[in-house]
Structures are given as C-alpha cells and as structure tokens.
Structure 1
Amino acid sequence: MLDTMSLGRSSWSSSPEPTAHIRRPACSPEDVMVEARRRGNHPAHDPLVANARRRWILILLSVTFFIAVNDSTIVYTALPAIGADLAMTESLRWVVVAYLLASGTLLLLGGRAADRFGQRRTFHLGVGLFGAMSLLCGLAVSGGVLIMARALQGTGAALMVPAALSILMTTFPEGPSRNRALGIWGSLAGIGATTGLLLGGPITQTLGWRAIFLINVPVGLAALALGPRLLPPDRERSGRSGTLNLPAAVTAALALLLLTSAIVEADRASGARTVGLLAATALLMSLFLRIERHAADPLVPPRLFRSRALVAGNLIILAAGISVDGLLYTFTIVAQQVLGRSASWFGLAMTVMTVTSFLGVGVGQHLVSRLGARPVAAVGFALIGAGSLVIRYASSDAELPALLAGLALFGPGLGACFVAGQIAALSGVAPEDAGLASGLEETTFAIGNALGVAVTSTLILAAPSLHTGTRTALTSTAGIAGLGVLAALCHPGARVGAPRP
C-alpha cells in the first residue's frame, strides 16, 4: 500500500499506447483526480486517489509537525540577540521555557479536544493559533509580549501536534503501512530539532532574530489553505454532545505545568520552592483523579491504562525523552565550554546523531512489525547507554573521532526506542481515543525532555568543575538508558501493529 511513500511515483499509465509503461509523477492532488476520472472511476472510490491522498496528507501533517519541533530548538542560538534587542536578562530563559511548558502541559487537552470536537477542526485551530502567534513573536516590541506570544504559540502546537498524529492514525490502517508512516513522523522530530540548531545562527546573523518566527507564517497559511481540501471531514458522533470535561482538563494541565516547572527550575530554585511545587502537583493530581472518578465523561478513560502495551510504550517514550534532552544539554556544555568549540561546530556534530537516528527509526519500525517493541526498545536503550559512556570517556581527552562515535551509537538507539515506544503506545487504541493516546504519548515525551535537562543541569552545576559535572551527567544518561531497558521489558512482548484478522 505504501508505494505512496515513494513521493515521486504514481501507479498509473499515461496512455494505452506502448509508451504507457513510462511513469510520470503526480504533481498535485488535482492531477490524481483527473487521472481517476479518465480511467472511468469515481475519485472517491479509486485506489489511486486513496493512496495519493494519503501521501499528500502525510506531507501536510509532517510539515506542520516539523515547524513545531523546529521552533523548540531554533530559538536557542537567537537568545543573545533577543536579549540585547529587548533588554531581557533574567527573563530571557522564559522565551524557551514558556513554549516548553505550554506545549508540554496542554498536549493532553489537545489530544482529547481532537477526539471530542473533531480532528480536522482542532488541527486547523492549532495551526491558526501557532501561525498567528509566530507573527506576534516576530513583531514583539517587549520581552513580556514575546513571552506571552511564545506561551500561546506553544498552546497552538499542543492543539496541532496530537490532532495531526490522530489524523495520521485514522488515515493509515494499523499494520506495516501505519508503522512506516509513524517512522517518517518520528524521524521528523530529529530533523526538525537539528535543523533548528543548524539554521538558527545563520538566520539570526543574516535576517535578524525576528525571522526565525516569521518563517512559520507562510507555512501556517499554506496548511490552512490545503487542509480543507486534503484532510477527511470530521465524523459526526452520535450520542455525544461534543463537550469536554473542562474541570479535569484544567486540573491536569495545571498539575503538569507545576510538575514541569519544578523539573525545569530544580537546578535554580530553593529546596523549599521545589518541594512546594511538587506538593502542589500531588494535590492537583489527587483532585484530578477525584474529578475523573465522578465524571460521566472522563478526560482520561481508565480503560486506556488497562493496556500494558500503552503503559510500557509511554514508559519507553519517557526514558527516551530524558535521554535525548539530557545528552543535548550536556553535549552543549562539553562542546562549547569544556572543549571550547563553537555553536556551529556543536550543531554540525549533532547531525551525526540525527542522521544515524533516521537509520534507527527505519530499521526499528521494520523490526517492531516482526519482533515486537520489547527487543527493539531494549537494544535501542543499550545503544543509548553505550553511546553516553563513550562520550563520557572521550570528553576527557577531547578525542573528536571517539566523540562522534559515541553520537553515532546514541543516534540509532534513540530512533529505535522512539519508534518502538510510539508504536506500542498507539497500537490497539480505539479510533475515538486516538487523539487522547496521541496526546498522552506527546505529553510523556515533553515531560521527559524537561526532566532530562533538569537532571543533567543540576548534576553539572553541583559538581566542583564543568568537566566533572558533564562526566557525571553523561553517566546519569547511561543510567536512564538502563531504566529504559527495564521499561521495555514491561511490554507484553507480542508483535504490535500487525494487521488484525
């Protein structure tokens, strides 16, 4: 079915003549419709149209996911210019944190909104908000306006990403075709993050820091124009009012907000503040469970957590999120402050991890369909741990080949873990819970990202020297990989994503 992944191919002949074996690319959805009618088929029932439409839907959803991920990293290299232009000092970190907190804590709400109000409707709302706030970020005249716009931009991403992923799940049938689509989706996380690290500096130096936000605007407009033409209409849900359990949604979002704040600020805040944030988080989570227990239409149906595959998949995703952001933060310190390399060198070195992670995603999704998520994730975490330890010891002697070898081990391990965890977390989910499962998986990964930065930064700052601190942080990343192996072993072990009889 996924000849649709071969983006330059089509499966029809241009004429009944002997030259009909020469294939030409489908340049647009309109070309596909014309060809279907020429063959005497109604476009709605033509297999060619169905395959081509899936291809274009995947392209559209992937581009929007790309800009959401790209925006989480591209801002790092522009922070000095932003601080100088808007006179921001202590508040500068909130340009990054506001986006992280909003996008991470509201993903669960975004996933449920896609289920309750419609996947396409929620996707368009998220894209519109993300694009509008990108424009406001680019036009911001003060630090306060920029931080507010970044928080709302993250809110748009929280609506857009789980809605897009749930559309992907309902567009591609469960099995190898969906696994391949999820493999492409998963690889874009690495592409978007690395592209942000690589392009942020040149864009800021040539066009100014505002351009890193303004480039999202035309992409958002294009997505809003193509969405109604490509995406399937939202299904009417009989017997459902379309309402959302807002008390539970707000309580869960606030609990995740406080938890993420405690994690992100753990290395800077006082012990009493951190304990207070964690206590407030526990109180809100208790309130959330109470609300859910008495709700006629709970935000998170308890039946979801009866699936060992879903629980194990989210644990795998959590450990992968901690590992990757822990390594990113630590390797930044190693490259620029311990070894004295430039930010551009850091970005180029990280492409080694990104390129090899594509290999891990591609091979991983292939093996999960045949062997199951458990062995793929376990081997992936073993590679993550080995790569972390190689970098730890290589950083002592500034051995460039060994550092790159460590990244080359870490990358495929990360790709394999991510795609195995994602497939496990989303397999066997009922269509009406697709958005919720997507939101849970994305929220888990976002919390893992924040926890990875918090843990490694705390260890680095607590050490007597940066050299000692980074070595300790890399050891902790290897330890997290060991816990990830245990999470993989919690998976029931059956093959996931196989077609159902």
Structure 2
Amino acid sequence: MQESIRRRKTLVLAICCMSLLLVSLDVTALNVALPSMRREFGASVAGMQWTIDAYTLVLASLLILAGSTADRIGRRRVFTAGLVLFTAGSLLCSLAPGLGWLVGFRAVQAVGGSMLNPVAMSIITNTFTEPRERARAIGAWSAVAGLSMAAGPLIGGLLVDSVGWRAVFWVNLPVGLAALGLTRRYVPESRAERPRRPDPVGQLLVIAALGGVTYAIIEAPAAGADSPAVLGCACLAAASLAALVPYELRRADPLIDPRFFRSAPFSGATVIAVCAFAALSGFLFLNTLYLQEVRGLDALGAGLWMLPMAALAFLCAPLSGRLVAARGPRLPLLLAGTAMAASGLLFAAFSAEASNPLLFTGYALFGLGFGLVNAPITNTAVSGMPRSQAGVAAAIASTSRQTGGTLGVAVIGAVLAAGTAGGGGAPVLDGGAEFVAAARPAWWIITACGALVLTVGAATSGRWARGTAVRTARRLERACADPSPAGVPPQA
C-alpha cells in the first residue's frame, strides 16, 4: 500500500515537473533564437524585448488568478486547461507570419502557462504534506528549472541551425500532449476547503500596473521618456499600484492577501524572486545578443558557450533542495547572492566579455547562484501557509519570478538600446567595443540584483524572521477556520 502511494506521488511530481519544463524550456530556448527572429522580421531591440515580455507580462498578471481559480474549481481541471491552451499557443507561435502575430500568440501561450506552474506547485504541496518530503520534492522541481537552462540553449541552438527558429515551439507539442494524457490519468482532483472569491478589480489593477510600467520602460529609448504614450503608461502604472494596496486591504478575499507579507521570510522570498529572475532574464538577453551579434557565433555555438552556466544551475538545484530540507534556506540564499553578484561584477568592472577565461568564470558563477536560489524561494513561499491557501501562496511566488523576468528584459534591453547610436529603433550593435560600453550599466544592474539577493536573504532568514512566519501562519490558520464576512477587512 505504502509503495503504491509512493509510486503515485512520484508520478504526480513527474507530471508537474513536465509542465515546468514546458514553460522554462520555452523561455531559455527562445533566447537563443532571438537573433534569427530579428533577421527574419527586421526587428529592433524593442521588438525582441516584446517577444519575451509579451509572454512574461501576461504570465505575471494572471498567475494569482489562476492559483485562486484552481483552489476554487479544481486544480486538475485548471491544470488540464492550461496544458491545452499552452500547447495550442505553441502551435500558433510556430505559424506566426510576422512579429506582431508572434507577440500576440506568445500572449495566448502565456494564458495557458499561467495555469501550469502555480497550480502544479499547489498540487505538489497538497501531495507532499510532510515538510522534509515536500522540501525534497521542491528540490526536484527546482532541478527541472536547472535542466531547462541546460537543455534550452542547446536544443534551441540545434533547432535554429538545422530547421529554423519556428521549431523551438514545436518541441512543446509532444511534451504538452504527453503531460495532458498523464494528468487525466494520474493526477487527483483537489480543491481548497474555503476557496477565495474572485477579485476582478484587483486583477485589472495588477494588469494595468505591470503592463504600464513594462511598456514605458521598453518604449522609452525609441519614443523618448517625455512622449505622451510613455508618460501616460508610467502614470497609469503608478496610479494602479497606488490604488491596489488600499483596495486589497479592504477586501476579505483579496487577490494579493496583504496578510502573507507579515511573514518576513515570505516577503523576503518575494523580493529575492524578483531580483533573481530579473538578473537571469537580463543575463540571458545580453549574452545571447553578444555571442551571436558581436562574436558572430551561430545559435548552437552560443548555446554551447552558455553550457557552464546551465550545467551548474542543473547540478546545484537539487543540492539546494537538500540544503533547505536539512538546514533551512539561509545558507543557499547567501551562497546564491554572493555568486550572482560576483558574476555581474566580472562583466561590469572587469569586461569579462573580452577574456574567454573570465567569460567562462562569469557564466559558471551565475549558474551556481541561480541553481541555489530557486528552491529556498519556493519552499519559503509555501511553508507555513495553510494548505487551503497553497495555490495563492505559490502563485504569488511565481508572479514574483515572472515580474522579475519581465522587468529584467525591459530594463536591461532599455539600457542597452539607450547606449546604442540608434536607440531602441535601431538594429542590435555590430561592434564589440560599442556593445561592451553600452552593456556596462546593465551589468551593474545585474550585480545590484545579486547583492540584493544576498542582503535580503540574510535579513529574512534569521530567528526574528522565522518568528514572524510562525505568527503569520497562526493568524492565517485562525482566519481560515473563522473567515471574516465578505467586505470586512481581516484583523491582525
């Protein structure tokens, strides 16, 4: 009996990891394909940013809604719908006749993707209930993210060089269909005992805030920071964010529950996720362009150069999960922040692009740091939360990751575009010295992101921080047992 239960849990974990592989592989493989897409469509720096950010922006905007909806109507049902929509969106992306169509189809893909990762994490949390068992499962989950970094550039490079960039999306079709069949057979249905009510106003405010700030950052180098469209979007984002916080505080069932952030580890995990994934997306964006546009490598050659980063991320992810299970999140967070900051510093202060040994070291350090950071983020986000709120807690962590990815591409791309002679509307740089000079401020931003992972990780993983997590968990358990009536703000 116990063996049967263990086997079924392993199958459920494998299915959830397949969904993560789908979403993560798509991002890492697509980065290698960016120069080929640019040449076919005649795209600018901003156009390439939108092929990435159209996906991450929609994903970040809808993750919390997907998590709460899954808690309410059934996690397997939402997970299945996500697999269908993501697979269909991948097919549409492979057929896109132009850049605008590709950006639109990427958004369709993201709607499906928003139903996968947070719901899969909720399924894992409800399947693996013992803390050490859950930490090991999350370590395996994080290892898949590392695997996508290892396999993505290589698979993307092989496909781009042999078939073309459209083949990057074809990979999702057999994996998506296999995951769909296995989900219908092996994943049990589950719901929250007291699901949260929909919050359409909060959802619209989140979309307006993220969309407005992303558009303003990406388009500012080409249109000018004082253009009406850029200023209007910036003001929309600021107003939406200013309205979101007081509005959510008044709701009994907010889209983003402010009570979660009374836990210092949860708040720290949110900030760390934004910083780590902003650094990752900016790192991949810069290096893909440098290796192919400046060094003149083909897509496969670029993928091979990034292999040290990907391999270390893959190897360190399960190690990080075991460290979290045995000693807590503090050590992997400190190591991760140090390695990521050191990697960024090699490029920012020592022009690592100009030296093959330094370039290799920079890639290896970043892979080490990113491999260690994912497991403590996920474990901290869901640990201590009531199981009925697992979907929402996991969705907030996933939203933080995707928000970081969106802002990383937007900010790093805008800094790079502003450093070129032609701005955001010009083709990517052709001169190595010009690229290094234009990218240096971007590398300082990536260094700062690593430093924030280190300092926030240290501040939110000590005894005081753990005390806030225990008190928050007790309040949430009481709130779940005796929920406030609709429209009445929850009490501390």
TM-score (norm 2): 0.83
Q: Which amino acid aligns with 2:6?
A: N
SS of corresponding position for 1:436: helix
Find the partner of 2:385 among 429, 432, 437. 429
Q: CA deviation at 1:420?
A: 1.9
Structure 1 pair 84/349, CA: closer, same or farther in 2 (3 Å)?
closer
Is contact 2:212–2:233 with CA below 8 Å preserved after alignment?
A: yes
Indicate yes or no: 2:332 matched with 1:376: yes
1:228-256 residue CA offsets vs partner (Å, 9 max, x unmatched) = 22112224746x6x742222223223322
Is contact 2:139–2:375 with CA below 8 Å preserved after alignment?
A: yes
Is contact 1:373–1:493 with CA below 8 Å preserved after alignment?
A: no
Could you say which residue in structure 2 is the equivalent of 1:137? 93
Could you say which residue in structure 2 is the equivalent of 1:491? 460
Is contact 2:51–2:103 with CA below 8 Å preserved after alignment?
A: yes
Q: Distance in 1 between matches of 2:353 and 2:116?
A: 44
Could you say which residue in structure 2 is the equivalent of 1:73? 28
Could you say which residue in structure 1 is the equivalent of 2:397? 441
Find the partner of 2:115 among 159, 169, 177. 159
Q: CA deviation at 1:201?
A: 3.4
Could you say which residue in structure 2 is the equivalent of 1:252? 206
State which drifts further: 153-162 or 460-469. 460-469
Q: Which amino acid aligns with 1:49?
A: S
Find the partner of 2:66 among 103, 110, 135. 110
Find the partner of 1:172 among 107, 128, 137. 128
Could you say which residue in structure 2 is the equivalent of 1:480? 449
Q: CA deviation at 1:225?
A: 1.7
Matches within 5 A, 1:316-465: 316-392=272-348, 395=351, 398-463=354-419, 465=434
Structure 1 pair 54/481, CA: closer, same or farther in 2 (3 Å)?
same
Is contact 1:385–1:479 with CA below 8 Å preserved after alignment?
A: yes
Find the partner of 1:207 among 163, 188, 195. 163
Indicate yes or no: 2:14 matched with 1:59: yes
Q: CA deviation at 1:156?
A: 0.4
List alignment gaps of at least 5 residues for structure 1.
Answer: 1-45
Could you say which residue in structure 1 is the equivalent of 2:426? none
SS of corresponding position for 1:428: coil
SS of corresponding position for 2:116: helix
Structure 1 pair 153/474, CA: closer, same or farther in 2 (3 Å)?
same
1:88-128 residue CA offsets vs partner (Å, 9 max, x unmatched) = 64695343332222122211222222222221111111111
Q: Distance in 2 between matches of 1:408 and 1:363?
A: 16
Is contact 1:460–1:468 with CA below 8 Å preserved after alignment?
A: no
SS of corresponding position for 1:429: coil
Indicate yes or no: 2:66 matched with 1:97: no
Q: Distance in 2 between matches of 1:430 and 1:315?
A: 22
SS of corresponding position for 2:254: coil
Q: Distance in 2 between matches of 1:138 and 1:326?
A: 24
Is contact 2:65–2:203 with CA below 8 Å preserved after alignment?
A: yes
State which drifts further: 335-344 or 292-301. 335-344
SS of corresponding position for 2:261: helix
Structure 1 pair 326/214, CA: closer, same or farther in 2 (3 Å)?
closer
Structure 1 pair 89/385, CA: closer, same or farther in 2 (3 Å)?
closer
Q: Which amino acid aligns with 1:52?
A: R
Q: Which amino acid aligns with 1:170?
A: N
Q: Which amino acid aligns with 2:334?
A: A
Q: Distance in 1 between matches of 2:286 and 2:446?
A: 10
Is contact 1:376–1:420 with CA below 8 Å preserved after alignment?
A: yes
Q: CA deviation at 1:452?
A: 2.2
Q: Distance in 1 between matches of 2:68 and 2:61?
A: 13
Is contact 1:260–1:447 with CA below 8 Å preserved after alignment?
A: no
Is contact 1:333–1:470 with CA below 8 Å preserved after alignment?
A: no
Structure 1 pair 145/457, CA: closer, same or farther in 2 (3 Å)?
closer
Is contact 2:139–2:321 with CA below 8 Å preserved after alignment?
A: yes
Is contact 2:56–2:405 with CA below 8 Å preserved after alignment?
A: no
Is contact 2:282–2:409 with CA below 8 Å preserved after alignment?
A: yes
Q: Distance in 1 between matches of 2:37 and 2:442?
A: 29
Structure 1 pair 193/413, CA: closer, same or farther in 2 (3 Å)?
closer
Is contact 1:394–1:403 with CA below 8 Å preserved after alignment?
A: no
TM-score (norm 1): 0.81
Q: Distance in 1 between matches of 2:201 and 2:16?
A: 30
Q: Which amino acid aligns with 1:412?
A: L
Q: Distance in 2 between matches of 1:409 and 1:76?
A: 20
Q: Which amino acid aligns with 1:57?
A: V
Structure number with greater Rg is 1
Q: RMSD between aligned alpha carbons?
A: 2.9
Q: Which amino acid aligns with 1:469?
A: A
Is contact 1:266–1:458 with CA below 8 Å preserved after alignment?
A: yes
1:301-343 residue CA offsets vs partner (Å, 9 max, x unmatched) = 2321221111011111122112222222233344344544443
Q: Distance in 2 between matches of 1:343 and 1:88?
A: 18
Q: CA deviation at 1:267?
A: 4.0
Find the partner of 2:215 among 229, 236, 261. 261
Q: Percent sequence identity over matched residues?
A: 32
Is contact 2:352–2:358 with CA below 8 Å preserved after alignment?
A: no
Find the partner of 2:182 among 226, 229, 233. 226
Find the partner of 1:122 among 63, 67, 78. 78
Is contact 2:28–2:153 with CA below 8 Å preserved after alignment?
A: yes
